[in-house]
Amino acid sequence: MIEYIFHIDMDTYFVSCERYLEPKLVGKPIAIANEYKRSIAAAISNELKQMGFKSGDSIQIIKQKVKDLVIVHPNYNLYTLISSHIFNFLREKYSRKLEIFSIDECYLQIQLENDQNPVAFAMKIQDDIFQKFHIPCSIGISFTKFLAKMSTNLAKPHGVRWTQNKKDIRKNFYSLDISRVFGIGKASSKKLKEIGISTYEDLLNFNNERLLRNIFGKNYLNVLLQMKGEKTNDVLIASSNMKGMGNQETFLFDDVQNYSILIQKIKDISYFISSRLKFHNYEGNVITIQFRNINKHWVSFQTKINEYVNDAETITNIALKLFDKHWNEEPLRGIGIRVSNLRLIFNQNNFIDLFTNLEQDNIKSIIFSINQHLGKNSLKTLSDLKLDKKAKSKGIKFIKEDVMLQKNNGKEYK
């Protein structure tokens, strides 16, 4: 038996979900956004990507250049629900060793016979996901999570890429711009280019340890080992060591001082965090509210409660109390909420709460199955209907950052 790590990434995921519900959208240039003067695209279709646009671009600019643009209002609850079904399907059919990386990405640890082709196996997974959920995906295969993720980026859209050995590392990645290396952000990329490192290969061959340490800190050796394919001790397990989960909204154009707008933001963020906590089967008892002031600094205030929670109403109420207590009525550039000190619900003996949560999940599963059969999002819970109505009244645009803090080396996953 040979062990592989598969990285599965749903292609243009939000757009794909909307197209599944509305097949008439297939082939049209689509942006997921709200229609306001300063709106940005939360996601875009491949048709727009081929025109040079990207997620985060101004909707007004896209509309000026693309006359047949279709704007679809985001439904984050739908996207979370579909992804949970996909991940559960993969876990049940292909591997119990599944690690969720984001709402539309996961890793699978797969064991195959020596004569089995991992590329053909990956194509079978692609076909199964598309046949069952109508969601296209790309898959990267390798012997580490880092190389599998890097391979997926080369496989997009709708492809499969296998990085089999160190010879493949050279062939697949050495010529890549340093900004395309997973884990190296814009700031680090800029600093690297300033010292003459422009490509993947340049970084591997750079021998000034002091400069690399200044950029990456003590983690620089780990970066190089991952890029060389020498960090092979990746073990996929359920993410039971998650320390906290939060969401931040940064206002892109104007600082906000309007009390009612900020309250609405808190409610929206609380719902989003609640849905993710329930999806991962977590609950926490420390609630934190975060303010981004006009100097672009984040400040936090938190409280610890006597019970563990993951429902939107409780998170909202506590966050609102923190907001009223600590906001000094000055304009804010962003706002965030975090729930921490998490524990797995399934590890507890609170069978009544567990039964209630599972009952709600079953209701959503039934609704999803009916809508899947109808081919459109006709059936909704009352809470989802209220959320959709609230979403239509939004007036300030922002970037959503789903932040999950894990104990794994203290890393922050976004």
pLDDT, tens only, 77-109:
788 788 888 988 998 899 988 888 878 899 999
Query: What percent of the chain lies above the pLDDT cut of 70?
Result: 79
Predicted confidence at residue 194, as pLDDT, reads 93
- Degrees (nearest 5) of the Cα angle 45, 49, 53? 110
- Degrees (nearest 5) of the Cα angle 337, 269, 349? 75
Instruction: For residue 410, give the 3-state DSSP assignment.
Output: helix
Stated pTM of the model: 0.61
Q: Kindly tell me if the per-residue pLDDT of 112 is higher than 90.
A: yes
Q: Exposed (0-12), middle (13-18) or buried (19+): which is 196, by Cβ within 10 Å? A: exposed
- Degrees (nearest 5) of the Cα angle 92, 95, 98? 100
Which residue has better confidence, 357 or 214? 214
Supply the DSSP string of 198-229, one letter for each residue: -BHHHHHH---HHHHHHHHGGGHHHHHHHHHT
Predicted confidence at residue 61, as pLDDT, reads 92
Strand 160-162 to 298-309 pairing: unpaired
Q: How far apart are CA 57 and CA 372, in angstroms?
A: 31
Cβ 226 vs Cβ 163: under 8 Å? no
Cross-strand partners of 7: 107, 140
Predicted confidence at residue 396, as pLDDT, reads 25
Which residue has better confidence, 326 or 406? 326
- 106's tokens: 């996961």
The arithmetic mean of pLDDT across residues 1-24, rounded, is 93
- 185's tokens: 């952000």
Q: How confident is the model at residue 286 (pLDDT cuts 50, 70, 90)?
A: very high
- 65's tokens: 């250049």
Highest mean pLDDT among 11-20, 121-130, 357-366, 395-404: 121-130
Q: How confident is the model at residue 243 (pLDDT cuts 50, 70, 90)?
A: confident
- Degrees (nearest 5) of the Cα angle 101, 102, 104? 115
The arithmetic mean of pLDDT across residues 115-126, rounded, is 96
Domains identified in the chain and CATH numbers: 1-164 (3.30.70.270), 173-228 (1.10.150.20), 244-347 (3.30.1490.100), 360-409 (no CATH)
Q: How far apart are CA 23 and CA 335, in angstroms?
A: 36
